[in-house]
Structure 1
Amino acid sequence: MTRIHLAALVALSFFVIPGWAQQADSSLLSVQRIYGTREFRSQSFGPARWLGDGSAYTTLEESEADRGQNLVRYDSERGAREVLLSARQFIPQGDTLPLRVEDYAWSPDMKMLLIFTNTQPVWRLNTRGDYWVLERSNGRLRKLGGPEAKPSTLMFAKFSPDGDRVAYVRENNLYVEDLASRSIRPLTTDGSRTLINGTFDWVYEEELMNYYADGWRWSPDSRSIAYWQLNADQVKDFPLINNTDSLYSQILPVQYPKAGEANSAARVGIVRASGGPTRWLEIDGDPRNHYIARMDWAAGSDEVLLQRLNRLQNTNQVMVGDARSGKVRTILTERDSTWVDLVDNLTWLNDGKSFTWLSERGGWNHAYLVSRDGKSIRPITRGNFDVVKVVGTDEKGGWLYFLASPDHPSQRYLYRSRLDGRGTPERLSPRAESGTHTYDAAPNFRYALETYSSFGKPPIIRLVRLPRHEVVRTLIDNATLRSRLAMLRKGSSEFFSIPAVNGAKMPAMLMKPADFDSTRRYPLLLHVYGGPGSATVNDAWGSYYLWHLMLTQKGYLVASVDNHGTPAPLGRAWRKSIYGQLGVVETRDQATAARSLSRRPYVDAGKIGIWGWSYGGFMSLNSLFQHSDLFSTAVAVSPVTHWSLYDNVYTERFNGLPGANKAGYDRGSPLTYVNGLKGNLLLIHGSGDDNVHFQNSEVLINALVTANKPFTMMEYPNRTHCVCQGKNTQVHLFDLITRYLEQHLKGGPAQPQVRDRAAAGGS
């Protein structure tokens, strides 16, 4: 009996853990803490709207008492706070809870508020929903669209400039609703699945409109509306198959033009807001082999300005169209041997006699002032640096405000230059605050809402006074998040550069473990995107920072390197060197970076892995297949595997037409190199991916099977490109990747070492 009792006590000593030991170490991260809780959520702010010239602004603030949001006005200078609309005023008649305001807009006289709520995604963004108008004078709240409008079907509603009406898109037709009489007038009636008025098809939204598919504009005099119409009757469907939501499979057809396939035919028309026939602009050329990529009124109600790309997207014609006659003339043409970029934030100056423009015509992205007839093109900014983004144009003061970073491509700062082109750019962001600064400038440019973050440090949002950049007050400090981050174990991080084969300096970043010991050797994981759409070496608060930090806590080095072709502000030649051979130069650069890092004495050169998503998945596959001497493990999430399988607008912009460049398509494809796979591959894809179709992974799987190459595969049923739908999906995904790395990279057998370890590389 005694022995049994003692044995039981011994057993209990193994399984009953003291209370102090049961408490999780708050300095250590886990996938559950990062993706399964809201512990590291940033504070929210806005949306904010400037009022008048910028002397005040409004923003939404949570009202816990009313389980909704208050709309609050702040005086910019003094900070005086006034609740303009309380959460209770957002409660519809007969309901008990306020509307959840997801976006809003003021009427020009601020007597009415347009509310966007109950939103649903079309593709990437929630651009359809319900719109309500609230009248401040009497508190009346009413829903737009009339009884025929189904829930969440209105899109891109906007007040007319005179404030009397609201126009919107519903099920591919345009409508105008009179706010006094509540009458609704259809401006188009021919909308269908393939005839699209006032919005766009999948590829226009994804690749040309920055995901925001607003396809119509009020004229400044409120009398007319200019809008796009797309005819998608020749665009083939790519069916997505849902096998899990019913007993039998369901098919979702998506209009998706793959590389080399037929596009929608786009045209622009002007219709009276009171109704009547549409006047179509008379634009020469095959509309299915051109893109009308930008359109807006040209500083008045008589003409519209268009940006039209050819099929190869190496020519951008800036056109002016007459709203009455439909006649069109070209005033400016941008050409490039590779591709040309579209221009946003174009501003008319001098009573419509000139406009601002961005161009790489001199080798760097710079701002220009162009006359209305296009005969005069005068530089505003000069120098060996890129204008990353135009923040705004202060015509009265004579300044152009823009973001740039001449010395550090991973950072962003506010500059201004004289509109007359004289002098040198003036940096306004504080030199003591390195990192990334973005701005929403007031119309009078006396104030701006600044968002500032740096690597590992979450954003702070401040109201600053321009041009001296004096902080008026801090609006969001993320103090709670900062205190939680301060408790985490973390090592040092460094930003540096690695020389490419051609001598160009590739931006790089390296995170080290908290207990880093330079005499030890650590496994190295590279995070890559590598494509024209995004850079990963950013001195800013980032989406994967916490997971990468968790890996350093587990004993990994984590690095990222921006290769040629990424949108780093390093000049035209850097960005466009990848043309016609997507994947070739980029893979060479990533291998060069891995080889350089492997020479550092604390890197275990036999345990170098790479992971990425989308283009980054494509890059991870290429790196593993082509450079098995460097990479032992790769994780590819939602990868493109051959560019003929992707959409035509994106692919042809960077790779040309598949019929004319088959060799370039094949040379950059991981399918060409599957026989080179010698290490560990984890392939992840959502079967409901409407962007990079699951077909890409299926084709790769067939190639790997044919080559008799072992690999690990995870399919997430019906998840889209983000692999984020459904409870615990993100937790499951990152748990899966973490376990795979622990088993195959950190714990896997060492591969043959790179012999030349003499130089560490980097600068």
Structure 2
Amino acid sequence: MPKLLIAICLLISIQSFSQTTLAPLTVDKIMRDPKWMGTSPTSTQWTGDGQYLYFSWNPDGALADSAYYISLKDKKPRKASVTETQDLRSTGTFVYNQARTAYVYGRDGDVFFVDVKTGKTKRITQTTEIESGAQFSFNDTKIVYSRSMNLFAWDIAGGETMQLTNIRAGEASPAPAAAGAGAGAGGPRRTGPPTATAGAAPPTPRADVNLQEEWMKNDQLRYFEVLKSRKEKREKGEAYTKTLPKPKELKSIPLGDKALQGLNISPDGRFITYRLSKAAANAKSTIVPSYVTESGFTTDIPARTKVGAPLGSTEFYVYDRAKDTVWLVRTDSIPGIRDLPDYVKDYPKQAEERKKRNAARAVSISGPFWSPNGKYAVLDIRAEDSKDRWLMLMDTTSGKLNLLDRQRDEAWIAGPGIGFGGTGWIDDQTFYFQSEATGYSHLYTFNAATNEKKALTEGKYEVQQARLSKDKKTFYLSTNEVHPGEQHFYRLTIATGKKERLTTMTGSNQVTLSPDEKYLAILYSYSNKPWELYLQENKPGAKMEQITDKAQSAEFKSYNWREPEVISFTARDGATVYARLYKPANPAPSKPAVLFVHGAGYLQNAHKWWSSYFREYMFNNMLVDNGYYVMDIDYRGSAGYGRDWRTGIYRHMGGKDLTDHVDAVQYLVKNFGVNAGNVGLYGGSYGGFISLMALFTEPNVFKSGAALRPVTDWANYNHGYTSNILNEPFNDSIAYKKSSPFYFADGLKGNLLICHGMVDVNVHYQDAVKLSQRLIELGKDNWELASYPMEDHGFVEPSSWTDEYKRIFKLFEKTLKN
């Protein structure tokens, strides 16, 4: 070998050795305040004129992030002053008129109007009350806003303000009028008791009348002529006043015992829509005790209800200002509203009873989404059991609903852009929405005049975000079309269907488009490179210009962070599972392996960008330094892979999501010679749940595990998440029995560490306590519980993180290296 080449290799080896010895990874180092790593920008937002880009950043290592900005003139980050921060108006808060010649926004509880051409700002309100929800209406001639639960309209030309609604809190809803009653049906009704006369029988007492006081009043009028005369004059005056024409009053809409939500108005100003909600009675909440407090006394933290608790009810109303009428939108006739879910077949008695009742399912209604001319209104209606989503055209003249699109899923309706901002109007007739009809969330249009539905995108990838351009000729899309582990930004021309990719760098590109759509502000990261801010012209192939460079401190850079290999393997049912793989250069003699299990269930971590689990990423690097193979998979239920993957855990959490991990172990054994007897796993929240299920139901595969803040019994968790996947405990007990680690604790053979914050208001500490008692009664002695008295679900104290991960590392070192 040439001497020069030997020298170069030796130098590289020395540098590599020096790098490792100078900056070895330890739990104490990893789990410090994350500021030691550097600072990444977040929360990008453009100013209205598109000349300045603001973002949150902390290059000085202060206690918290501060507002910074760049100008398009020099693109140099500068710290914003308090005044500049207060004056910042994010484009996300602007509401434009149809011609985009003006916009309104709210600030400090008041409403402001801006003329785009002149740049002049006019303050519409300046009150001690809070005005919000400003929008254009009355064919863009007025600005409508909300104040104290009512709508008001400010006339742009004349400056007059008028009240549009008369909604009154606390007043009971009026009782229906009796048949034949009404104006002109007779004279005024007498409400008081008849006057007593000598020898007459005493009047029947009324609950609201004091008979003694009524007798004294009549007696006074009988013996004092002046009183009697004044009374007669007053009554004549009152009678005359009643004959005078009255000014028209706004229709009173009493709320009774309900709460007002979603107050909205049509573009032409005729229709006002709103929801009335009523909280469920007897919905018991959990109490979370806090033991370490400033006062020295234990305090109680009110927490959430549990899955299956009684739910509140909502009603959707339309107020027709032209006809001065209010009507309730009824959903008991929409297609499939009485359909039963398939799972009831497992409960014949329940199925029979529900068929007999034939009850319409409860729903929640979002919208309406009005067409620009106000002719059409679309309601986004979701069944309370999440099995159906209907997009319905509302006939505002009759109140009837006509089906635009129905999405039925025997598991549950969800997916990117579905019910969370992926809807709107392209023009007066064309409505757009997202649907998983093909198994992946894609963008569709529906023509309200012709009933034609059209797919704008297609393929085995997800449209994760869709935004309509200001000229409404183009969609800007974020998708994972290139690879499930990448996110890129595209421009789609609606008329031709032509799609252009605008970002090029491998990883995640999270884009904020400038108001004039000339620039892309891009938060970009790669697997081993935290987020930095870039700027790019809105052109395919344009150069990305880096704006910030403080995401990695010198100390952070002193370690050669691994680029995990994103691989895939085939699960037992033929499905393709994506994973991050970390391989040690020098495996420990025992050939151990550890699986990291991401949390949240519906979340993605086998990707090519900087993980939100950055502490776990660093810990995984440390494990590899110590001779472990590490794998992190996007198991069944994870985000980014379409409907079938998302719902793969329906009615059995701890089913395919767990067997995916077992298959991952087999992949490691087969391809890298991992010792099948020395495999552990760890994870938090949903990852903690999987860790428990692994040790309890696959004890011959997993020798040790750390379950962090785990769900131990899904009947203890919240309704919104759990009922989608497992239905309700009293309706589908089979699903809960199959899915809760509590019922499988007897299977524990290996070594278990449970870590849980005691003031966790998400997964309650009660879960850990309940499982502990179960393990005690089963006589298990190969487990321990580490409790953290001052930590919620997501730990915040470096000392807690350090203690937790030292225990995890100790567990693996002790049990997987023999």
Q: Does TM, normalized by the shorter one, top 0.5?
A: yes
The 1:164–1:368 alpha-carbon spacing in structure 2 relative to 1, beyond 3 Å, is closer
Aligned counterpart, 1:637 = 708
Amino acid at match of 1:231: K
Q: Give the CA deviation at 1:83.
A: 11
Q: Secondary structure at the match of 1:39?
A: helix
Aligned partners of 1:643, 1:459: CA distance in 2, in Å?
35
The 1:421–1:502 alpha-carbon spacing in structure 2 relative to 1, beyond 3 Å, is farther
Q: Give the CA deviation at 1:509.
A: 0.6
- The number of residue pairs the alignment matches comes to 664
**What does residue range 541-552 of structure 1 map to in structure 2 within 5 Å?**
541-552=610-621
**What does residue range 28-427 of structure 1 map to in structure 2 within 5 Å?**
28=25, 30-31=27-28, 34-49=31-46, 51=48, 56-59=51-54, 74-75=71-72, 87-88=82-83, 105=93, 114-115=106-107, 131=109, 146=128, 167=145, 188-190=167-169, 195-198=258-261, 215=262, 217=264, 219-220=266-267, 226-234=273-281, 236-244=283-291, 245=293, 249-254=298-303, 256=305, 258-269=306-317, 280-284=328-332, 289-292=361-364, 294-300=366-372, 301=374, 304-321=377-394, 326-341=399-414, 342-349=418-425, 351-372=427-448, 375-383=451-459, 385-394=460-469, 398-406=473-481, 408-420=483-495, 422=497, 425-427=499-501
Aligned counterpart, 1:449 = 521
The alignment status of 1:558 with 2:558, answered yes or no, reads no
Equivalent pair of 2:290/2:759 in contact (CA under 8 Å): no
Q: 1:428 aligns with which of 502, 511, 514?
A: 502
Q: Give the CA deviation at 1:501.
A: 0.4
Aligned partners of 2:580, 2:77: CA distance in 1, in Å?
45
Q: Give the CA deviation at 1:324.
A: 7.1
The 1:375–1:439 alpha-carbon spacing in structure 2 relative to 1, beyond 3 Å, is same
Q: Secondary structure at the match of 1:590?
A: helix
Amino acid at match of 2:278: N
Q: Secondary structure at the match of 1:481?
A: coil
Equivalent pair of 1:68/1:100 in contact (CA under 8 Å): no
Amino acid at match of 1:400: F
Q: Give the CA deviation at 1:622.
A: 0.6
Aligned counterpart, 1:712 = 784
Aligned partners of 1:306, 1:281: CA distance in 2, in Å?
10
Q: Which has the higher helix share?
A: 2
Q: Give the CA deviation at 1:240.
A: 1.7
The alignment status of 1:511 with 2:582, answered yes or no, reads yes
Aligned partners of 2:779, 2:125: CA distance in 1, in Å?
60
Report percent identity of matched pairs: 20
Post-superposition CA distance 1:486-538 (Å, at most 9, x none): 2214345211112100122210112245xx22585554322213765212212
Amino acid at match of 2:593: L
Aligned partners of 2:599, 2:75: CA distance in 1, in Å?
46
Aligned partners of 2:144, 2:706: CA distance in 1, in Å?
49
The 1:273–1:631 alpha-carbon spacing in structure 2 relative to 1, beyond 3 Å, is farther
Q: Give the CA deviation at 1:455.
A: 0.4
Equivalent pair of 2:46/2:515 in contact (CA under 8 Å): no
Equivalent pair of 1:456/1:545 in contact (CA under 8 Å): no
Name stretches of at least 5 consecutive residues in structure 2 with no aligned partner.
1-17, 171-254, 339-358
Aligned partners of 2:54, 2:321: CA distance in 1, in Å?
31
Amino acid at match of 1:588: T
Post-superposition CA distance 1:420-471 (Å, at most 9, x none): 5756x543332xx221222223466443222221101112322322341413
Amino acid at match of 1:264: G
Amino acid at match of 1:49: W
Aligned partners of 2:789, 2:270: CA distance in 1, in Å?
49
Amino acid at match of 1:239: T
The 1:696–1:395 alpha-carbon spacing in structure 2 relative to 1, beyond 3 Å, is same
Equivalent pair of 1:716/1:723 in contact (CA under 8 Å): no
Q: Secondary structure at the match of 1:713?
A: strand
Equivalent pair of 1:620/1:635 in contact (CA under 8 Å): yes
Comparing 218-227 with 240-249, which one deviates more in the overlay? 218-227
Aligned counterpart, 2:718 = 647
Aligned counterpart, 2:692 = 621
TM-score (norm 1): 0.74
Aligned counterpart, 1:11 = none
Equivalent pair of 2:726/2:735 in contact (CA under 8 Å): yes
**What does residue range 455-474 of structure 1 map to in structure 2 within 5 Å?**
455-471=527-543, 474=545
Post-superposition CA distance 1:579-618 (Å, at most 9, x none): 2222211111111112322345464544322222222111
Aligned partners of 1:525, 1:667: CA distance in 2, in Å?
25
Amino acid at match of 2:503: S
Equivalent pair of 1:520/1:602 in contact (CA under 8 Å): no
TM-score (norm 2): 0.69
Post-superposition CA distance 1:650-699 (Å, at most 9, x none): 22322234344322221122122111112222223334333333332233
Amino acid at match of 1:316: R
Post-superposition CA distance 1:686-741 (Å, at most 9, x none): 343333333322332222122122322233346433243xxx2xx23321222212
Post-superposition CA distance 1:324-348 (Å, at most 9, x none): 7654433221112322223444354
Post-superposition CA distance 1:172-202 (Å, at most 9, x none): x56769899999999654389984433xxxx
Aligned partners of 2:508, 2:65: CA distance in 1, in Å?
32
Aligned partners of 1:736, 1:193: CA distance in 2, in Å?
53
Q: Give the CA deviation at 1:133.
A: 7.0
The 1:331–1:672 alpha-carbon spacing in structure 2 relative to 1, beyond 3 Å, is same
The 1:595–1:447 alpha-carbon spacing in structure 2 relative to 1, beyond 3 Å, is same
Amino acid at match of 1:240: I
Aligned counterpart, 2:566 = 495
Q: Give the CA deviation at 1:372.
A: 2.1
Q: 1:438 aligns with which of 493, 496, 510?
A: 510
Equivalent pair of 1:578/1:654 in contact (CA under 8 Å): yes
The 1:637–1:742 alpha-carbon spacing in structure 2 relative to 1, beyond 3 Å, is closer
How large is the RMSD of aligned CA atoms in angstroms?
4.6
The 1:429–1:546 alpha-carbon spacing in structure 2 relative to 1, beyond 3 Å, is same
Q: Give the CA deviation at 1:31.
A: 4.0
Aligned partners of 2:133, 2:470: CA distance in 1, in Å?
29
The 1:325–1:435 alpha-carbon spacing in structure 2 relative to 1, beyond 3 Å, is same
The 1:64–1:396 alpha-carbon spacing in structure 2 relative to 1, beyond 3 Å, is closer
Aligned partners of 2:808, 2:27: CA distance in 1, in Å?
14
The 1:232–1:485 alpha-carbon spacing in structure 2 relative to 1, beyond 3 Å, is same
Q: 2:598 aligns with which of 529, 543, 563?
A: 529
Comparing 218-227 with 235-244, which one deviates more in the overlay? 218-227
Equivalent pair of 2:429/2:448 in contact (CA under 8 Å): yes
The 1:182–1:88 alpha-carbon spacing in structure 2 relative to 1, beyond 3 Å, is farther
Equivalent pair of 1:34/1:547 in contact (CA under 8 Å): no
Q: Secondary structure at the match of 1:747?
A: helix
Amino acid at match of 2:435: S
Aligned partners of 1:623, 1:308: CA distance in 2, in Å?
39
Name stretches of at least 5 consecutive residues in structure 1 with no aligned partner.
1-20, 91-97, 116-129, 199-214, 752-763
Equivalent pair of 1:133/1:142 in contact (CA under 8 Å): yes
Q: Give the CA deviation at 1:113.
A: 6.5
Aligned counterpart, 1:211 = none
The 1:746–1:465 alpha-carbon spacing in structure 2 relative to 1, beyond 3 Å, is same
Larger Rg: 2
Q: Give the CA deviation at 1:64.
A: 12
Equivalent pair of 1:436/1:452 in contact (CA under 8 Å): yes
The 1:336–1:247 alpha-carbon spacing in structure 2 relative to 1, beyond 3 Å, is same
Aligned partners of 1:163, 1:27: CA distance in 2, in Å?
67
